Amino acid sequence: MVCINMIKSAAAQCHSVTAMALSTLHLTVLCFALLLCLIGGAQTEVPPSCLASAGVPGNPGHNGLPGRDGRDGKDGREGVSGSKGDRGDPGVPVPGLPGKMGPAGPKGSKGENGVMEIPESADVLMKSLKTDIQTMGSRLSTVEKAMGFRIIRRVGMKYYVTEGLQDDFDAGLRFCRDAGGDLVLPKNEEENNVLVKMLQVLEAPIGWIRTTDRKTEGIFLDTDNSTLSFTKWKPGEPNDHNNNEDCSMVYTATGLWNDILCDRKYHIVCEIS
Ligand SMILES: *[C@@H]1O[C@H](CO)[C@@H](O)[C@H](O)[C@H]1NC(C)=O
């Protein structure tokens, strides 16, 4: 409608325009606008005579809608380097893992022959220990032999032992030697007392002791033919009664010794040392 009114306005002015002194430019602009109206499809009859006349310029149109956002621009230039930062906190020391083992070094030259040297104190100590061990072994062996008997009494470094058996002198010797000991022969008062007490326990009035005068009549010796260091003969003994008493025994009641026939059967007490 704006276009049609514009054309009508232009056409109305056409008759008098010729006389009016409009500039050629003014006329060109008006007719160009008219042409645009015609191209836009306006159905109107334009006087052919108007094409040459110029109209008055219309009012400016309203502002259009804002356009769409444009594309991103190009990257800007690189900025200036910043100032140096503050020094960081000291780190916590953590030991690293051990490195791999390096290759073996070259073999060293052979050293001079050393001198075997055992300190004096160590040598003395070793000898002392060796002696102690041998002593303990010997004592243990003695104790083990004694352990096999029913009645055991310790006297000094010896053990007096018995099973309460009765037999003749030579059977008594064998029995005790088979047990790793020997028929008893007291070497002092204490040992004699211990023997007497053991016979009391066995309720035996008499026990054998290991001494005879078989080698030389009248001279009582140990069975290894050694002389006696201790004796406790009953007064008047040994008397070799009937020229037949070569063996010896002890009376439980008194602890005194007497020579007697070897084939008698008395209690057997052994000593183990
Ligand atoms: C003891 O003496 C007798 C007679 O001389 C002898 O037969 C015996 O072998 C001797 N015993 C020991 C252990 O030396």
Q: What is the CATH number of the domain that holds 148?
A: 3.10.100.10
- Would you say residue 170 lies in a domain? yes
pLDDT band at 41 (very low <50, low <70, confident <90, very high): very low
Average pLDDT over residues 186-209: 98
Strand partners, 267: 166, 207
Ligand 1, atom 1: closest residue by C-alpha? 225
How much is the pLDDT for 50?
Answer: 46
One-letter amino acid at 151 equals I
How much is the pLDDT for 5?
Answer: 55
Ligand 1, atom 14: closest residue by C-alpha? 224
- Would you say residue 11 lies in a domain? no
Domain count, the chain: 1
Q: Which residues form the domain of 224?
A: 140-272
Which atom of ligand 1 lies closest to the CA of 221? 1
Per-chain mean pLDDT for the chain: 82
Q: Ligand 1 center to residue 269 CA distance, Å?
A: 23
- Would you say residue 72 lies in a domain? no
Which atom of ligand 1 lies closest to the CA of 224? 13
Look at 199 and 22; give whichever has higher pLDDT: 199
Q: Ligand 1 center to residue 224 CA distance, Å?
A: 7
- Would you say residue 162 lies in a domain? yes
Spell out the long-range contacts of 169-176 with Cβ–Cβ below 8 A and sequence spacing 24 or more.
Answer: 169/208, 169/212, 169/247, 169/262, 169/263, 169/264, 170/262, 171/268, 172/208, 172/266, 172/268, 173/210, 173/223, 175/268, 175/270, 176/268, 176/270, 176/271
Does residue 186 have a cis bond before it (omega within 30 degrees)?
no
Mutate to test the pocket of ligand 1, among 220, 225, 227 (most ligand atoms within 8 A of CB): 225
Buried b (16+ CB within 10 A) or exposed e, 213-231: beeeeeebbebeeeebeee
Q: Ligand 1 center to residue 193 CA distance, Å?
A: 29
Percent of the chain with pLDDT over 90: 53
- Would you say residue 171 lies in a domain? yes
Pull the structure tokens for residue 122: 């160590």
How much is the pLDDT for 60?
Answer: 76
Q: Ligand 1 center to residue 252 CA distance, Å?
A: 30
- Would you say residue 121 lies in a domain? no
**Predicted TM-score (pTM) of this structure:** 0.57
Look at 9 and 240; give whichever has higher pLDDT: 240
Which atom of ligand 1 lies closest to the CA of 215? 4
pLDDT band at 243 (very low <50, low <70, confident <90, very high): confident
Residue 20 burial class via C-beta count within 10 angstroms: exposed 0-12, middle 13-18, buried 19 and up: exposed
- The per-residue pLDDT for range 114-166, each reduced to its tens digit, is 877 767 889 999 999 999 999 999 999 999 999 999 999 999 999 999 999 99
Q: Ligand 1: list residues with CB < 6 Å.
A: 215, 224-225
Ligand 1, atom 7: closest residue by C-alpha? 215
- Would you say residue 221 lies in a domain? yes
- Would you say residue 13 lies in a domain? no
